[in-house]
């Protein structure tokens, strides 16, 4: 980088952090590079060759009317270099930089044209937010300040994601976007997820609840490393356009791949009187072995609800006669309460199972101690009416300072086992 480019870039960096850019006409302060070690370490005045080289470069910029120079009296030493604001566009041209306003307009136009047909709410929110900030504050995402490559890739991924008819594997999605099965994972995935987590409130909440890794975050959005498996056990049958799957033929249940969900045409629950969702896998397995009733359908819930899992659970709900009892069993903690609320949005008739204050009373000695901050937030949430069906459980949690994990049922025989509290 030449001495002139160094000087101009230092000055333009200062300009971009000043009110002259963000609020033109509101500041009388000069954009100035003080010739001192903090502002201009390259100017080594003790070294005559270096000093004279920068002096000549500065003089040349002054001849081009791009800067004004201030000197130390009687010495060949610069004291300050002042940017000529009336020649700001020429300064950018000489430095081979793009003015932030010009760059902001370029980015806004690119985003607008690329995402005009996108209807995914969180992508639309990112688009509106990014374009507004770029237009009003001339700030654009850091990854596209000087180069469009990643922005173009991200916009391509957003367009293809918005057009997806259903779930897809990550490799297939990458191939669809970039004709390369690994390109998305290597180059785009991290920024794709950053945007999704910031603007998709459901994903952000799921991450807050379960500390989801990248694999599960993508699965939540319907992009899978490989198809999910949905485990269930009970005397029911699942109809597809190609035949019937008899779940009851497998005494301890079976697993359906998420890719099957789109082909389900009906679910026969005529032999079922009760449906039980269980959040923890070990408890699900143990329940099937020791507690499941002949007229009961037991479903492994598994935490967060990905798009395909939501679709399967909705199909089950639509196939369920009014008389069937539906219940959900999870840890008695914030995560379990939130999971219940999310499931209740899909299945309004679902009721908690073994998640009452009586269970906390019985198992509090085996509970997980919680810090004061956790308990305080839980109390506030309860006071705000977020968990109306768990008021008695929350009261006991606050009393004992502990939450109850499902696993305690594996090593302790509860007196409340026969109840759904």
The DSSP code sequence of 149-191 is HHHHHHHHHHHHHHT-SS-EEHHHHHHHHHS-TTHIIIIIHHH
pTM above 0.85, yes or no: no
Over range 166-185, report the average pLDDT: 94
Q: Identify the DSSP state of 70.
A: E
Whether residue 24 has pLDDT greater than 90: no
Over range 128-155, report the average pLDDT: 92
Least confident of 22-26, 94-98, 239-243, 410-414: 410-414
pLDDT score of 259: 87
Over range 342-367, report the average pLDDT: 95
Is 291 buried (19+), middle (13-18) or exposed (0-12) by CB count in 10 A?
middle
β-pairing verdict for 254-257 and 229-233: antiparallel
- Neighbouring C-beta atoms of residue 217, cutoff 10 Å: 20
pLDDT score of 405: 95
Is 341 buried (19+), middle (13-18) or exposed (0-12) by CB count in 10 A?
middle
Residues in the chain: 421
3-state secondary structure of 2: coil
Is 225 buried (19+), middle (13-18) or exposed (0-12) by CB count in 10 A?
middle
pLDDT band at 325 (very low <50, low <70, confident <90, very high): very high
Q: Identify the DSSP state of 79.
A: E
pLDDT score of 207: 83
Whether residue 342 has pLDDT greater than 50: yes
Whether residue 331 has pLDDT greater than 50: yes
Whether residue 61 has pLDDT greater than 80: yes
3-state secondary structure of 34: strand
Q: Identify the DSSP state of 379.
A: H
pLDDT score of 226: 85
- Neighbouring C-beta atoms of residue 213, cutoff 10 Å: 10
What is the percent of the chain where pLDDT is above 90?
A: 78
Whether residue 78 has pLDDT greater than 60: yes
Is residue 51 within 8 A of residue 44, CB to CB? The reply is yes
d(CA 63, CA 65): 5
Across 181-317, where does the E strand assignment appear? 223-224, 229-233, 237-240, 243-246, 254-257, 264-268, 274-278, 296-300
pLDDT score of 418: 46
The DSSP code sequence of 296-324 is EEEEE--SS--HHHHHHHHHHHHT--TT-
């Amino acid at each position: 980088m030449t001495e002139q480019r160094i000087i101009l870039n230092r000055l333009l960096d200062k300009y971009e952090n000043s009110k002259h850019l963000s609020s033109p006409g509101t500041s009388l302060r000069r954009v100035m590079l003080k010739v001192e070690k903090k502002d201009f370490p390259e100017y080594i005045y003790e070294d005559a060759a270096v000093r004279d080289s920068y002096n000549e470069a500065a003089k040349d910029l002054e001849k081009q009317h791009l800067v004004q120079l201030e000197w130390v009296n009687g010495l060949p030493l610069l004291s300050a270099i002042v940017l000529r604001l009336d020649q700001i566009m020429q300064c950018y041209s000489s430095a081979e930089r793009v003015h932030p306003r010009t760059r902001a307009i370029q980015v806004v136009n690119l985003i607008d044209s690329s995402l005009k047909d996108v209807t995914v709410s969180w992508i639309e929110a990112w688009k509106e937010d990014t374009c507004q900030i770029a237009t009003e504050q001339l700030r654009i995402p850091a990854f596209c300040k000087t180069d469009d490559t990643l922005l173009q890739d991200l916009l391509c991924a957003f367009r293809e994601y918005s057009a997806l008819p259903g779930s897809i594997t990550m490799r297939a999605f990458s191939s669809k976007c970039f004709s390369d099965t690994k390109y998305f994972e290597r180059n785009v995935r991290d920024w794709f997820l950053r945007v999704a987590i910031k603007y998709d409130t459901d994903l952000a909440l799921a991450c807050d609840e379960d500390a989801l890794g990248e694999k599960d975050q993508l699965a939540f959005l319907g992009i899978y490393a490989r198809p999910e498996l949905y485990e269930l056990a009970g005397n029911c049958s699942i109809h597809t356009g190609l035949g019937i799957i008899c779940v009851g033929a497998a005494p301890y249940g079976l697993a359906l791949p998420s890719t099957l969900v789109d082909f389900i045409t009906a679910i026969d629950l005529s032999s079922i009187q009760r449906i039980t969702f269980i959040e923890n896998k070990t408890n699900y397995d143990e329940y099937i072995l020791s507690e499941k009733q002949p007229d009961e359908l037991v479903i492994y819930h598994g935490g967060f609800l990905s798009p395909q899992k939501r679709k399967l659970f909705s199909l089950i709900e639509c196939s369920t006669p009014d008389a069937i009892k539906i219940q959900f069993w999870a840890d008695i903690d914030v995560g379990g309460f939130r999971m219940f609320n999310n499931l209740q949005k899909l299945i309004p008739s679902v009721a908690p199972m073994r998640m009452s204050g009586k269970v906390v009373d019985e198992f509090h000695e085996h509970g997980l101690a919680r810090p004061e901050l956790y308990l305080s937030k839980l109390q506030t949430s309860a006071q705000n009416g977020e968990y109306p069906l768990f008021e008695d459980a929350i009261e006991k949690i606050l009393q004992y300072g502990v939450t109850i994990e499902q696993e305690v049922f594996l090593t302790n025989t509860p007196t409340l086992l026969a109840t759904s509290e």
